[in-house]
Amino acid sequence: MSNHVKHSEFPAGASSGIAAMLSRKLVGQLAAIQAIVPCIEMYRSRLAPENRPAGVFLLLGPTGTGKTRTVEALAEVLHGSSKKLLRIDCGEFQMDHEVAKLIGAPPGYLGHRETQPIFSQQKLNGAASEACDLAIVLFDEIEKAAPSMIRLLLGVLDKGALRLGDGTAVNFEKTIVFLTSNLGAREMNKHLRPDFGFEALAPSADRGPRLEAISGNALRKTFPPEFVNRIDEVVTYRPLSKDAVATILDLEIRELQRHIDARLGAEAFHLEVPVKTRRFLLQHGTSEEYGARELRRALQRYLIHPLAALVAGGEINPGDMVRADVDARRGRLVLRPEPSLARAC
């Protein structure tokens, strides 16, 4: 098993449209793209191994660094929607008896007919699309899963098959499996932001190997060797740089404008967010502890909620330009609707 991905340029064969599209949607985590794209290319070329999933990836790192976003971005690229995947929130399966919901109760047991297994062939096929028959399966926060789920996954990751409670077999060969986890995140944060000592003076670029060692140790302490050995790639995510967070903000604002256009249609308006306003949002939305998630909270609080109030109050007309300026004295944004040139005339 290759545990970590080296930071290098894509080879010519892997520099496909998939890599380019993922790079536009996923900011600051090149190592994840470098790990995933060759697996997709291998599947598309029909050279993926038989009798196992096309790829099994464990994404480790602090919260808010883009682990789940990576999987959603891949779903957008392959299937056209971030929701086109089979997602298992492992926090809902912390007890052994809850795992029965994944495969269904066997005949003769209470609830056999009422329990619809999550891992049915129909649901796996539903996670694929006409554009791509490779289904994406995500196990979010795998460290929270009950031990019985880990045992259940051993057969899936190794043989690409799962037998349900009613004896039906489910084929996982046309799937790519992602596991996400915050294992080692606290130790990583301590290493990245030491209070004193030599590490406080060391450049952050020199800390990559240490972060991978921390995640590797946490992984081996949590999961049995037979489970770890069935993972193709372990990618350790690093905290996002200031430039990366600024790029994410640009993408979020662009996505907000697309959302406005799609939902309001003929009643849509244009949102203008100047550089000074973006700096305000970055200042209030940058958090070392929560990463990009804090940025989304700042967008909701300072921009989207006031914007929604104006729309609900009928204060924005179709085609208006709504400018978001900073009110430094009150520590908030001021939204000013301005009529379009066509309506003003």
Domains of the chain: 12-239 (3.40.50.300), 243-344 (1.10.8.60)
Residue segments in the chain with a per-residue pLDDT below the cut of 70: 1-16, 105-115, 191-208, 288-289, 340-345
State the amino acid at position 142 in one-letter form: I
**Is 140 exposed, middle or buried (CB count within 10 Å of its CB: 0-12, 13-18, 19+)?**
buried
Residues 176, 222, 144, 161: is their CA dihedral positive or negative? positive
Whole-number pLDDT of residue 87 = 95
Whole-number pLDDT of residue 303 = 95
Give the residue from 149, 327, 114 showing the smallest Cα distance to 223.
149
Q: Structure pTM?
A: 0.81
The whole-angstrom separation of Cα 100 and Cα 199 is 47
State the amino acid at position 301 in one-letter form: R
Whole-number pLDDT of residue 198 = 40
Distance of CA 151 to the CA centre of its chain: 25
Whole-number pLDDT of residue 97 = 80
Q: For 156-171, how does the pLDDT look when each residue is reduced to its tens digit (9 = 90+)?
A: 998 899 988 778 899 9
At 49, give phi and psi (nearest 5°). Answer: -60, 150
Whole-number pLDDT of residue 286 = 82
